[in-house]
């Protein structure tokens, strides 16, 4: 007669929502972070035994996946540790701020040029139709 005895642990992860935008201390990106609840179960013969013996709450960066342990009360959406949009560039260097501004201006010029080209195309098409109608 052979008796198998097995025990171990299993983790389940439940997403609880997202934070406001927070600057990550690891990767430096300003993004929403995810709140997660990690429950560790004691298993006997691969069957989770209730109740869970360990519950952790974390918030995790969506870019680099670095995580920070938080309290259960803090694990609700709308974290007070977020930063507002006016403080968003406080950690940027002058070069990064200038680059961001130049890219925004370039995007605006490109969009303006595209609108002008489309308008010119429509005017050309209108004139072409007028010429065709005058011939017929």
Q: What's the number of domains the chain is made of?
A: 2
* pLDDT classification of 87: cutoffs 50, 70, 90: very low
Any residues with CB less than 8 A from the CB of 126 and at least 6 apart, and which? none
Residue 84: its pLDDT value, please? 40
Lowest mean pLDDT across 52-56, 67-71, 101-105, 120-124: 52-56
Residue 33: its pLDDT value, please? 86
Is the Cβ–Cβ distance between 74 and 56 less than 8 Å?
no
Structure tokens at 17: 């929502």
Q: Is the pTM of this model over 0.75?
A: no
- Alpha carbon distance 76, 110 (integer Å): 41
* Domain housing 77: 1-83
Q: Are 49 and 105 members of one domain?
A: no
Q: Are 75 and 96 members of one domain?
A: no
Phi, psi of 93 (to 5 degrees): -80, 170
Q: Are 17 and 74 members of one domain?
A: yes
66-84 pLDDT, tens digit each? 888 888 777 765 544 443 4
Residue 3 has pLDDT above 60, yes or no: no
Q: Are 119 and 68 members of one domain?
A: no
Q: Are 6 and 63 members of one domain?
A: yes
């Amino acid at each position: 007669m052979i008796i198998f005895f097995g025990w171990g642990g299993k983790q389940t992860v439940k997403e609880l929502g997202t934070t406001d935008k927070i600057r990550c201390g690891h990767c430096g990106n300003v993004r929403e972070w995810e709140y997660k609840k990690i429950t560790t179960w004691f298993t006997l013969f691969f069957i989770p035994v209730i109740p869970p013996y360990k519950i952790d709450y974390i918030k995790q960066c969506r870019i680099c996946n670095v995580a920070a342990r938080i309290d259960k009360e803090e694990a609700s959406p709308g974290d007070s540790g977020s930063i507002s949009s006016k403080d968003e560039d406080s950690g940027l260097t002058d070069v990064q701020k200038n680059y961001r501004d130049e890219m925004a201006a370039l995007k605006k010029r490109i969009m303006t040029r595209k609108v002008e080209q489309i308008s010119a195309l429509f005017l050309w098409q209108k004139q072409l139709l007028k010429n065709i109608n005058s011939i017929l």
